Amino acid sequence: MSGGPDSHDTSVERLTPVARRLLLLRHGQTEYNADSRMQGQLDTDLSELGVRQAAAAATVLAKRSPLLIRSSDLRRAHDTALALGEESGLEVTTDIRLRETHLGDWQGMTHLEVDQIAPGARRVWRDDATWGPPGGETRVDVAGRAAPVVAELVDALPEWGTGDNPDAPVVLVAHGGVIAAMTAALLDLPIGSWPVFGGLANTSWVQLSGHGVPGEAPRWRLDVWNASAEDADPGVQ
């Protein structure tokens, strides 16, 4: 017997699709970035410009009313995340799995220095997600440790994509290499296609939407790549 107009059909509720918004934000500029020096997992600080970039991104992204902010534990990402946390009124948690790609023997070297000791190696690295610098990680390695962070958050946050503000995003603050690898993995792209994602500017972000019904793994779609505070608000300097 069917219920009256006030009855609550939980089976319908369970089958109602949701779209979880995920923002992947790259950290602000560091002096290593400015000098074309490879950081990897070296723990560097934001430059003065990087601090301003983080503040500008925070002003724009706080308007999205984030549901949660999680960051790499490396200072350049964590400090970028803290700027958004302060603007949003949210605590920032860290996860070591969101660290940048370990670049092995290349860490601390400039692009030119790498090219001198290993001509053509950086091109191979850019074009092959299964190849890593000597002593370092591949993009496939990076995705293997970082992408599970998202799956765990889907399970831990039943309110993500629902409630009074279903568009409230989860924000992960990380690094260019990690974000590119995570994006490719979440979209389930063939590994040979992973290099399609180019560089991500400092404090630019990626938005993905995870579509599906509660209780099931979402199917991720790419909404935005390499957006910035300047794109979102021309008045931000």
Question: Tokens for 57?
Answer: 């991104």
Q: Say if residues 69 and 81 touch (Cβ distance below 8 Å).
A: yes
> Across the strands, what pairs with 94?
71
CA-based angle 188:130:98, to the nearest 5? 65
> Among this protein's residues, is 27 annotated catalytic?
yes
Q: Say if residues 202 and 77 touch (Cβ distance below 8 Å).
A: no
| Closest CA relative to residue 79, chosen from 32, 56, 46, 40 | 46
Q: Say if residues 14 and 50 touch (Cβ distance below 8 Å).
A: no
> Exactly one of 100, 102, 137, 175 is catalytic; which is it?
100
> Among this protein's residues, is 152 annotated catalytic?
no
Residues recognised as catalytic: 27, 100
